[in-house]
Structure 1
Amino acid sequence: MPTTAADGSAPGPGGPTPRPAGPVTLQQVADLAGVSPATASRALHGSTGSRVVGEQLREKVLAAARELRYVSNAPAQALARSTTSLVGVVVHDVADPYFAAISAGAMGVAREHGLLVMLAATFRSPELELDYLARLRAQRARAVILSGSGFADRSYTSRLAAEVESYRADGGHVVTIGPHGIDTDSVNPANRAGAALAVRHLHGLGHRRFGVVSGPRSLTGVRDRLDGARRQLRSLDIALPPANIVDGGFARDEARGATRALFSRAPDVTAVVVLNDVMAAGVLAALRDDLGLRVPEQVSVVGFDDLPFAADLHPALTTVRLPLTEIGAQAMEMILTGPTIAPRAVAVDGELVVRGSTAHVRR
């Protein structure tokens, strides 16, 4: 029997491994070796920083490369590893003041150090976020800040981790704002603790019947805020029925409709925790104009983030303040110092700002 394939390659364990038509790609080598493209790249072209490929795994990749007759393109590797002064900032919505404040903080630091910021909006699409990260990698951007909430989806998280690992293998740096379920430097706002602050404030004013206007629960930031409110209520022995949690879609008009739905199901609610200030504006409008309820005399409302307009609402909004500009600046500072052996996590505290939308319970 022949001991070589028709093209002269050595047979694989189950028979000859046909050589692919056309130039062999790194992906094909990775598939044959049973590793990720990023791991194959590091095994063939050298590791980046602390991410060293073990000798046994390296030999496995090299064997696959020999079997497929893979030829590394050294000039392409050198080009891929060069970086530019470009930093990508990926947000969910450029019109959202939350992301505008974070971006402003990042851009301020970038300007001081001669970096160019490219802003990209995903409209809360996980597929678009992955696409932007791949495009920025192709543009040899120095780094990327993922400033929107992560997505609570295992498939997405796995694909994001692979994309980030490939980006790192090419010398890039990724910083996330809030947890994304991947191994990166991160700046983490106090989402759980902030929501707990809001609940404790309202409880201290005598409120016992709560409602929550949430955002999309597919977002990890929303889940964290909702979890913080739930845990605090549980510790105070206060029930929060599922019917008392409505989705305001992180939008003013959606939150206005969600508030009407909440009070149609739970008209005895006296305190509403709203998981961002944009939705809180819609909640106040619904209570005042649609339901004829007085704030704070009949219903107290607490928002989250302390966006610039919060003090100008009627009544002025009690809210949990996050230093959003500082958060963006800290993320960019992490990029300037470069990646470290172990990922860094910076915790950012929130504080309660009491204004006119909350008062002692009266009904």
Structure 2
Amino acid sequence: MADTAGVSLATASRVLNGSTRTVNAELSEHVREVAARLRYVSHGPAQALARATTSLVGLLVHDVNDPYFSAIAAGAMRVAREQDLLVMVANTYRDPALELDYITRLGAQRARAILVAGSPPVDPKLAGPLRERLLDYQQGGGRVVAIGDQGPEIDAVLPANVEGARAAALHLTALGHREIGMIAGPRGLVTIADRSEGFRRGLMESDGDPAGYEIEGDFTRDGGYDATRRLLAERPGMTAVFVMADVMAIGALAALREAGKRVPGDVSLVGFDDLPICADLVPALTSVRVDAEGMGEQAMRMVVAPAAEVEAEDEGRAVVHSATELIVRGSTGPAA
């Protein structure tokens, strides 16, 4: 029926089976007309079974060892405890097949909701299978909330990655830096694409025609270390480095010291996420603060809150925006 009406299964279900989410009147009328023409009738026992959920909530993270995802989990669990919900954390290791398997298993366990924390791929063909599996789970009566944009029908908490990276670029160029290295994580991820776009936008808005040179590395301390060594070899004259994740920036700081570069005397360094360890590094790391723990809390509150209490951005889903903020510390200074 949904295919005939030209809508998703989730939208058809909201119209025909009732939902706290509203669908615009014109689209609702169209779906009902198609259902009447096809003589579609909801299967009562199946609907009752679909709504028979447990107190279990699944939390899918890329790497629980990464402090960013650990903070998200801590925030989500704090709210879950208030609501008497049980959270099962599943470490996906960025393996698409494992993500799909976990969603299927959580559905079989009648989990109340699934929270997905982690950037989807930029390529729609790679992102499609996960999105479709989440929509199938949602159609079966489960709740889905993503930290990051998993598609136009999936509720989301969205960090302001573009704005945060832009602020980092404007900070460095205001200090006189004109040759700036950028160390990115895997380029196929939306998060990295957004942070790269924001940083380049900030460079374009700055005076003096600053140049940015981007190099890719793994989302690890060693990934940041290796990428910085390659960047120093290719661009020995750079005076600043923007690293798109703090866990990588720790490795970048080690590589700069090993190369005999003073931070910030010779090279300024900016990270992203503002992990708690940033304030304890020497020098303390300038970083773009992302409220990871707060995003975990917001996502879990969306699981239990009526849709009307959540900010609506796109038709068919609810969105909460999470701001970012540049925290300036000792790792940045005027260009040498």
What's the TM-score bracket when you normalise by the shorter of the two chains? 0.7 to 0.9
TM-score (norm 1): 0.80
Alignment of 1:142-161 (within 5 A): 142-161=112-131
CA distance in 2: counterparts of 1:92 and 1:287, whole angstroms: 28
Q: Confirm or deny: 8 A CA contact 2:177 2:210 kept in the other structure.
A: no
* 1:356 pairs with 2:333: no
Runs (5+) with no aligned partner, structure 1: 1-28, 66-71
Q: Percent identity?
A: 47
Q: Which has the larger radius of gyration?
A: 1
The more displaced of 307-316 and 154-163 is: 154-163
Deviations 1:234-285 (A, max 9, x none): 12253535xx211121111111111111111111110100101000001001
* 1:94 pairs with 2:68: no
Alpha-carbon spacing, 1:73–1:92, altered in 2? closer, same or farther (3 Å): same
Amino acid paired to 1:240: A
Deviations 1:192-251 (A, max 9, x none): 11111111111121111111000111111111111100111112253535xx21112111
Alpha-carbon spacing, 1:191–1:41, altered in 2? closer, same or farther (3 Å): closer
1:133 aligned to 83, 103, 124, which one? 103
Alpha-carbon spacing, 1:36–1:128, altered in 2? closer, same or farther (3 Å): farther
Alignment of 1:1-363 (within 5 A): 38=9, 42=13, 46=17, 48-49=19-20, 50=22, 54-58=31-35, 75-236=45-206, 238-240=209-211, 244-289=213-258, 291-339=259-307, 342-362=316-336
Q: Confirm or deny: 8 A CA contact 1:320 1:351 kept in the other structure.
A: yes
Please tell me the root mean square deviation across aligned C-alpha atoms, in Å: 2.8
Q: Confirm or deny: 8 A CA contact 1:40 1:61 kept in the other structure.
A: no
Tell me the SS of whatever aligns to 1:335: helix
Amino acid paired to 1:251: T
Tell me the SS of whatever aligns to 2:141: coil
The more displaced of 271-280 and 136-145 is: 136-145
Q: Confirm or deny: 8 A CA contact 2:181 2:240 kept in the other structure.
A: yes
CA distance in 1: counterparts of 2:62 and 2:84, whole angstroms: 25
Deviations 1:53-81 (A, max 9, x none): 72454357658x9xxxxxx9864543232
CA distance in 2: counterparts of 1:334 and 1:271, whole angstroms: 40
TM-score (norm 2): 0.86
Tell me the SS of whatever aligns to 1:179: coil
Q: Confirm or deny: 8 A CA contact 1:173 1:339 kept in the other structure.
A: no
CA distance in 2: counterparts of 1:332 and 1:173, whole angstroms: 11
CA distance in 2: counterparts of 1:216 and 1:125, whole angstroms: 14
Q: Give the CA deviation at 1:147.
A: 1.2
Q: Which structure would you say has the larger RCO, counting Cα contacts within 8 Å and 6 or more residues apart?
A: 2
Q: Give the CA deviation at 1:170.
A: 2.1
Runs (5+) with no aligned partner, structure 2: 309-314
Q: Give the CA deviation at 1:304.
A: 0.7
Q: Give the CA deviation at 1:350.
A: 1.5
Tell me the SS of whatever aligns to 1:54: helix
Amino acid paired to 1:355: R
Tell me the SS of whatever aligns to 1:355: coil
Number of equivalences: 323
Amino acid paired to 2:278: A
CA distance in 2: counterparts of 1:60 and 1:146, whole angstroms: 37
CA distance in 2: counterparts of 1:126 and 1:182, whole angstroms: 20
CA distance in 2: counterparts of 1:257 and 1:159, whole angstroms: 32
Q: Confirm or deny: 8 A CA contact 2:153 2:316 kept in the other structure.
A: no
Q: Confirm or deny: 8 A CA contact 1:161 1:182 kept in the other structure.
A: no
The more displaced of 85-94 and 168-177 is: 168-177
Amino acid paired to 2:252: V
Amino acid paired to 1:126: P
